[in-house]
Chain A
Amino acid sequence: MNAAGDNSMIRWGLVIATYLIVGLMLVLPPVVVLSEALREGIGPAVATLADPDAVSAFRLTLEMTIASVIFNTIFGVLAAWLISKYRFPLRGLLVALIEIPISISPVVAGLVWLLLFGTQGWWGTALERMHIAVAFAPPGILLATIFVTFPYVARTLLPLMEQQGRDVEEAAMLLGASFWQILFYVTLPNARWALLSGILLTTARAMGEFGAVSVVSGHIPGLTETMPLHIETLYNGYQSVAAFTMAALLAIMAMATVWLRSVFEARALRLPEPDVQEGGRA
């Protein structure tokens, strides 16, 4: 009796504490950003987004995000497929290598590209002679973004693909399916929710990346500033409303992505991949 009462008290205490912490740490920041953005009303806030530099930052962020999502989806799928369905030497090392971007500081990730493509870098002189700009130009920003978002597709696919085993693929192959048929008709459909979730995680991360991009960007408004960088520039230029409006826009984009992801995840849980259950354990 007494024990049960204690239990429910602890439970309620924990629930309240959790909501308090979540409210303070997670809900308050976006609310503050939004209220700062709307300090002078919604009209002036929206007007700041029409500034050519703001439009350029938005476009660059979109381009970089789409390009790195495409790149990392292709390579993430191939890497996860390779690692989960095949056995080869140093397979464990490859898994560890894919995780490097998660553990390495984004500043270091940015500096690496400067050391390679900067004027003082390994390939800088050759690139300069060919008039190809990589560092302090969109290609450098793309490389930095791809690097920091590299692991997400592969990491979300790997556990699922490993668990599914390769029985279905082997069956498909015995039935005469080609490599690409197996990939597109068997493996990917089985892992589609995990893949989608990985893609959305990559998207959210790519949109918000600051550190690595900051190092290679050169902070040229209207040319090499992504949204996170432009927010900093605006803030340092005492343009609070513009800075927080763009911050709010970026936050909304990221939250929409994360929300989509949880929707897909819930759906994935409701429909637990019927093909795998039948084929995988046959």
Chain B
Amino acid sequence: MPLHLPPTISRRALLGGGLACAGIAALSRQHQARAAKTLLNVSYDPTRELYHDINTAFHEDRDIRRNDGAIVVRTSNGGSGAQARSVLEGSPADVVTLGLARDIDILAQNGFLARDWQKRLPHNSTPFTSAIVFLVRKGNPKAITDWPDLVRPGIQVVTPNPKTSGGARWNYLAAWGWALRQPGGDEATARNYLKTLFSHVPVLDAGARGATNSFVQRGLGDVLIAWENEALLAAKDLGPDKFDIVVPELTILAEPPVALIDRNVHNHGTGTEARAYLDFLYSREAQKIGASHYFRPVDPIIITESAWRFPTVSTFDIADLGGWVSVQKKHFSTGGVFDQIYSSDA
């Protein structure tokens, strides 16, 4: 004989459902309230230490306090592409500071900010630049000095996956641009060089920090292709007696840009504070902090002051390769040059 449900269950269930909804609403309200005087900076992988210090300086800056009150900035770090994706899906970023302009372009295409965002701040919206360099084991036992050495027999190269990592795209393009500029160099020789190069890569990590960890902590490979800031951090701070930096003869000038996410600051009512934060990145104080973390400053005075920190490099930039739109399509789209060279050697 089946039990009969008394009618009370539906009322109770309704009550329970209502309570659960109220709970979720309360949680999200609490989240909103907490976000009142805070900004969220969604950033790429190797900026953890940089923005930790800049956020503290911004919080304590007297001019900012007088104008806007004390502002707490939180930073979320991850692979540049993945971070752009999470902003696209609704991560409440007030500003983004990503590894390459392409990732911010995607947000602009989806209406998160104006399409001409890169013109809104000085230096192509890039408060710090970097170069792509090599990190090798102490004393350079494999005598690696320039790009051709990476493809010598027996050399293992560590670089992350260009499909997921912004840093890896810079690495890839540095190699590509160098190969193009060799005597007799053209697209065919550049393709060949990259194909050989990637056959020397034992494992493709998803992000720049993962690749650094593979090389530094797990001891994988003979040479790490990396952001200069990441390489200098590893060489100077993590293991002064374990690593050396090698600057290739020619490399790419990496420009990781910053931008205000118009749509989110409109919703959060944080436009003024977020703009102040982005301007602060160009201030002497922030530029100095950047230099101390081995990010190349753009302020002329700080450039001179911190010149001793950085090796001289000769560089080309992304515009020399045709800009991000065409580079992205040609190299990193499905079936593009990277897919062709990587799949055919697997």
Contact = CB atoms under 8 A, between A and B. Distances in A.
A128 B28 contact: no
Nearest to A236: B209
B239 to A, nearest CB: 11
Contacts of A223: 31, 34, 40, 74
Interface string A130-143: 01111111110010
B59 to A, nearest CB: 13
Given A233-B77, A237-B49, A119 B31 contact: no
B290 interface: no
Contacts of B30: 138
B27 interface: yes
Interface string A87-129: 1000000000000000000000000001001111100100010
B77 A222 contact: no
B28 A114 contact: no
Given A119-B90, A138-B27, A142-B24, A218 B76 contact: yes
B28 A87 contact: no
Interface string A45-75: 0000000000000000000000100010010
Given A114-B89, A218-B91, A238-B238, A142 B27 contact: yes
A237 B238 CA distance: 11
A120 B89 contact: yes
Interface residues of B, number: 40
A135 B31 CA distance: 12
Interface stretch (A19-27, A28-36, A166-174, A197-205): A166-174
Dominant secondary structure at the B interface: helix
Interface residues of A, number: 42
Given A128-B90, A142-B24, A236 B31 contact: no
A131 B48 CA distance: 29
Dominant secondary structure at the A interface: loop
Interface string B268-306: 000000000000000000000000000000000000000
Interface stretch (B5-13, B95-103, B320-328): B5-13
B307 interface: no
B16 interface: yes
A87 B2 CA distance: 8
Contact of B74 (A119, A124, A133, A221): A221
A178 interface: yes
B76 A221 contact: yes
A184 interface: no
B216 to A, nearest CB: 9
B238 A121 contact: no
B90 A136 contact: yes
Given A86-B3, A134-B28, A138-B31, 7 more contacts: A120-B110, A133-B28, A139-B27, A139-B28, A170-B3, A221-B75, A221-B76
15 contacts: A74-B16, A118-B89, A133-B92, A134-B24, A134-B28, A136-B86, A136-B91, A137-B27, A138-B30, A142-B27, A170-B1, A173-B3, A180-B8, A221-B76, A223-B31
